[in-house]
Structure 1
Amino acid sequence: MFVLTLKSDPFKTYVLSNSETGASLEVVPERGGMVTRWQVNGQDVLYLDAERFANPALSVRGGIPILFPICGNLPDNTYTWEGQPYTLKQHGFARNLPWEVTDQVTQNQGSLTLRLTSNHQTRAVYPFEFELTFTYMLSDRALGTHQCYTNCSAVPMPFSAGFHPYFQVSDKTKLEFDIPATRFLDQITKTVHPFNGNFDFDQDEIDVAFIGVSRQTATVRDRSQALQLQLDYSNLFSTLVFWTVKGKDYYCLEPWTAPRNALNTGEHLLHLEPGASLETFFNLSVERL
């Protein structure tokens, strides 16, 4: 039985839960429409830096931030469109703007739908009219996200989109990866390396983008927590990024539709015709080992 409640912690938070299974989901519309907490059998799957989250002036480190209309950063935070330069900060603006709750379901299933539309603030850095509609769906051991991107402009709209989930971890050396790629680009050194399923967690920071993702599923086994995490994503997500920082109890495995700087290079950049919509999905599931 699903129940939807509200709390302030410190922002208005929608809490969708199923007391029979111990599954719960917390979403904060005004902080980028992001999921801030997901529990399976009462156990937290996601990491959240509560101190940064409480400060609206800081970007959130934790939960599942939404990336749109770019993933990653641009050189000098700048791109050019139709001869006009624009400034757009890392990962775009969707993760920083307030979203609107448009629907909630608790009968037979549990879901929450949010919407973000273009406004004067977005048009100053991204000259397109758009509507994004995201539905979060909670089940016993899974969290689904259905996305719909609509171009409300009179001209084609270029964009990339993705997610930046932070997964909680106590011992990174106990992680085992099954990622559908054999090479990655180190985004710090700009060099390409073979991938054998392991990372050197003695590095201060790991920031890599996998090249030639061959299937729409990736898994991480966490032996210290006896959990297996699976990511499933549509074939529009052409890039997987892994990021973590030494000494922090999180790792990020991020599905992106395009690599960094796609608005300038055009690589895997999505285009929507005027009035058109694009639907896609990103699902997470957890199993005990």
Structure 2
Amino acid sequence: MPELKAGDAKLSLHPEMGGGIAGLWVDDKPVLRAWSGKAEDGPFALASNILVPFSNRIDGGFSFQGTFHAMAQNMDVDPLAIHGDGFQKEWTVLSATEDEAVLHLSNGAFGPFAYEARQTFSLTSDTLTNTLTMTNRAAIALPFGGGFHPWFPRTEETRLQAIAPDHWPEGEGSLPSSGRPQQPPEDFDFSSLKPLPSRWINAGFSGWDGSARIEQGRGAVSLKLSSNTLTTAIIYSPEPDCGFFCFEPVSHPVNAHNLPGMPGLKVLESGESLTLDMRLDWGS
């Protein structure tokens, strides 16, 4: 597993487990919830997962340009296609220096999607930048998307601020209960710094301005999360005592392939590419 270092910051990668992040620490304090260290726990026990060629769930398949494309279940714990296949495949290390690594996936394939992808991890003493580029290798145009799935520590001191006014309420099967976003309930409105809700949250928010503030108190590293390319966020945490929460910067709402207008998805012709980014900044 490649390890990058810059000042007091240390990043551990796990190319064999979906090109994910195993851990990120600053002065030995966690920025992300560290990997369990057990392969049998699966990829979602990592500190961060990559989502490609789509984010979250697709309900059975989707129609595009007059053709229906079936999307099969890819995890035993969920009956729907979820998060693509990038997080389930081994990535190749193309290069690794003390503070930068490049990973490559040559055989992305899920339903109609055939693609290759590249991740760059750039570490400084104050920041981590994770960039994902996917290239359509199918013979047809397809609606691509993706993003990042970091797992953050959650304690009684954790606070979140993120401006994202359009809430996609979770319905049956963790799919949006409506074809249009709504105003979030008060405890799901993070326009000001506040604790996470005391109930289950697993919902999408669009209209995100690309910046989120995470305050962690004494137990973990506080930071700013940002993106220049992503305008949707998925926030997930089962309960206050679960020990983690996810703030996932992604390109599109859940099941966007079946929502009106396919919001947030990018149609790539064969050979075209899409680049997405996430930056964690604990020095600002």
Asked if Structure 1 and Structure 2 have the same fold, meaning a TM-score greater than 0.5 normalized by the shorter chain, the answer is yes
Among residues 66, 70, 86, which one is paired with 2:50 in the alignment? 66
Correspondences of 1:220-231 after superposition (within 5 Å): 220-225=214-219, 227-231=221-225
- Secondary structure of the corresponding residue to residue 120 of structure 2: strand
- Displacement of 1:47 in angstroms is 1.0
Aligned counterparts of 1:127 and 1:84: Cα–Cα separation in 2? 6
**1:120-131 pair list within 5 angstroms:** 122=109, 125-131=110-116
Q: Say whether residues 1:50 and 2:43 are aligned partners.
A: no
Q: CA 1:254–1:187 in 2, change beyond 3 Å: closer, same or farther?
A: same
Q: Report SS of the residue matched to 1:260.
A: coil
Segments ≥4 residues shifted beyond 3 Å: 77-81, 188-192, 196-201, 224-227
Structure 1 residue aligned with 2:141: 156
The aligned residue for residue 206 of structure 1 is 201
Give, in whole Å, the separation in 2 of the partners of 1:277 and 1:176. Answer: 36
Quickly say closer, same or farther: Cα 1:200–1:142, change in 2 above 3 A: closer
2:119 aligned partner: 134
Q: Match for residue 89 of structure 2?
A: 97
Q: Which residue of 2 aligns with 1:26?
A: 12
Q: Tell me by how many angstroms 1:252 deviates.
A: 0.7
Cα deviation 1:134-156 (Å, max 9, x = unaligned): 01111102111122211223322
Paired residues for 1:181-196 under 5 Å: 181-188=164-171, 190=177, 192=182, 193-194=184-185, 195=189
Contact residue 152 and residue 274 of structure 1 kept, 8 A = yes
Matched position secondary structure for 1:103:
strand
The reply to whether residue 118 of structure 1 matches residue 90 of structure 2 is: no
| Residue identity opposite 1:104 in structure 2 | A
Q: What does residue 277 of structure 1 align with?
A: 273
Q: Does 1:239 align with 2:228?
A: no
Contact 2:55 2:82 in 1 (8 A): yes
Q: Offset of 1:16 from its aligned partner? A: 1.6
Identify the range of structure 1 (194-203 vs 161-170) with the bigger mean alpha-carbon deviation: 194-203
Equivalent residues of 2:23, 2:35 under 8 A apart: no
| 3-state SS of 1:95 partner | helix
Name 1:17's counterpart in structure 2: 5
Cα distance in 1 for residues equivalent to 2:160 and 2:69: 42
Whether the 8 Å contact between 2:211 and 2:225 is mirrored in structure 1 is yes
Q: CA RMSD in A?
A: 2.4
Aligned mates of 2:113, 2:221 — CA distance in 1:
42
Answer whether contact 1:168 1:249 (CA < 8 A) is retained: yes
Compute the displacement of 1:105 (Å): 2.3
**Offset, 1:131:** 1.2
Any conservation in 1 of the 2:163–2:211 contact (CA below 8 Å)? yes
- Aligned residues of 2:226 and 2:280 also touching (Cα < 8 A): yes
1:275, 1:63 → 2: CA distance? 31
Residue 180 of structure 1 and its aligned partner are, at CA, apart by 1.5
Q: Which amino acid aligns with 2:163?
A: P
2:213 to 214, 219, 235: 219
Kindly indicate whether the alpha-carbon contact (under 8 Å) linking 1:37 and 1:63 is maintained by their aligned counterparts in 2: yes
State the 1:221 CA deviation. 1.5
The 1:133/1:139 distance shift into structure 2, 3 A limit, reads: same
Please give the secondary structure, in 2, of the residue aligned with 1:87.
Answer: coil
Aligned-pair distance for 1:188? Answer: 4.5
Amino acid at match of 1:66: I
CA shift for structure 1 position 278: 2.4
Contact 1:169 1:250 in 2 (8 A): yes
Shift of 1:276: 1.8
AA at the equivalent of 1:157: L
Structure 1 CA distance for aligned equivalents of residues 153 and 258 of structure 2: 34
Equivalent pair of 1:36/1:63 in contact (CA under 8 Å): yes
The answer to whether the Cα contact below 8 Å between 2:155 and 2:216 also exists between their aligned partners in 1 is no
The code of the aligned residue for 1:284 comes to L
The equivalent of 1:8 in structure 2 is none
CA distance, structure 1, for counterparts of residue 11 and residue 220 of structure 2: 21
Superposition TM-score, scaled by structure 2 size: 0.82
* C-alpha contact (below 8 Å) 1:104/1:111 kept by paired residues: yes
Report the 3-state secondary structure (helix = DSSP H, G, I; strand = E; otherwise coil) of the residue aligned with 1:55.
helix
Q: d(CA) in 2 for partners of 1:151 and 1:84?
A: 16
